[in-house]
Amino acid sequence: MILVLLVIVNLGLNGLIDWYTVCLVPLNPYQFFLAVQYPRIVVSTFNIVFYMYTLILEERFKLINLIIKQEEFFSPKIKRMVLLHKTLVRVAKSLNQVFAPQLLLWVLLGVMVVTVDLHVFFFTLFNKLLGQYPVGIVGVKNASLFIFDLIFLSFRCTKLCKEANKTAFLWYHIKIDREDEEARDDFIKLGIKLSNDKLEITACRLFKIDNSLILDLLVFITINFVVLLGDLYVTLYIILTNNQAKYCTTLIGLIKNCVIVIFELYYLSHVCQNVSTEVIGNILRLMHRRFEITALRLFTIDNKLLFGVLAYYSTTCDIATILDFWVRCVLSLHCAAVGGSANIMSGCSTSTSTNINTKLFWLY
């Protein structure tokens, strides 16, 4: 499979199309082809290797999810599948760290190439220069190749992350035996690990690579198209009129504006994403942290305890016993206030016990 992709992409998309570009350029065709084609082949090979690794990991995650779907109750087999899932997530994150610099450079290069080449195409189109200067056609070709790479890259990363994070949703459909405390504890621990250990493919942790990246890049390219239209128009006019004196000055201004816009947009999005993540994380932590006063963690000491005691006595004792209990409580509190004994079950003194028995006699 990887050999087929290497042949199709490198020889088909890159080789034939770039050879057409070489034929249009009035330079040594072989030297120009080598200078243009060799870096493209190297980068395409890296991309294809990354695609194949993501495809292999995605198939492994699919097998794990299929096994979890087939199992109705929690078992040691499910536990082994979760541990295997954790290992695959670790492998995917290591793969992301290896290819992160290349992904970052490739995405940034793709955005710049698409933006500049589209400006070149529209400039030659609106000025009716496509027949005289084929640079517009070459720009469309380059933009198409980079757009295809960006879309396919986002698609593969999205599929991998979706399949890896799907296990956490399937986990809560598994039934457990509530009487088995050990299995219940293992189920809860593994479920928390699956929920917290989510897979994300990023470019050096600056931005996530998924389907939302396509929309972000579309907005970014549109903004650049509007902001840099004036500089590009002047630059291309100077290039086409062979005015080399003003070319460097205008090109430096163009690069400066590109860097400013790219830095502002990505820094703003990165800061907003980090702030939103921290706020949501703090809210969730506050929601799960509750202060309770317990008796050796057996029961909570609050207003519900009073109703629990009443319910217990209402089911185990008769009305006379309940009244006896409350009279003893009131009298014991009274005796404690005046300096007597506070023993609820034995009474305060002999005279107090006589009064209690007299009152209980009339209550009966």
pLDDT digits (tens, 9 = 90+) for 183-202: 777 777 877 777 778 888 88
Q: What is the pTM of this model?
A: 0.58
pLDDT digits (tens, 9 = 90+) for 199-248: 888 888 888 888 888 877 777 777 666 666 655 555 556 655 655 545 55
Q: Residue 72 gets which letter from DSSP? A: -
Output the pLDDT for position 342: 40
Does 360 score more than 70 pLDDT?
Answer: no
Output the pLDDT for position 349: 44
3-class DSSP state for residue 202?
strand
State phi, psi for 302 to the nearest 5 degrees. Answer: -155, -165
Contacts of 52 (CB under 8 A, 6+ apart): 1, 2, 5
| pLDDT class of 323 with cuts at 50, 70, 90 | low
CB 81 within 8 A of CB 193: no
Q: How far apart are CA 109 and CA 249, in angstroms?
A: 23
**Mean pLDDT score, 298-319:** 63
Output the pLDDT for position 359: 45
pLDDT digits (tens, 9 = 90+) for 32-62: 667 677 777 778 778 888 888 898 999 999 9
pLDDT digits (tens, 9 = 90+) for 130-177: 666 666 677 777 777 788 888 888 888 899 999 988 888 888 777 777
Output the pLDDT for position 191: 79
Contacts of 235 (CB under 8 A, 6+ apart): 247, 250, 251, 254
Does 362 score more than 50 pLDDT?
Answer: no
Q: Enter the tokens of residue 140.
A: 């469309």
CB 143 within 8 A of CB 119: no
Average pLDDT, the chain: 71
Contacts of 335 (CB under 8 A, 6+ apart): 341, 342, 348, 349, 352
Domain ranges of the chain: 2-227, 237-263, 303-363
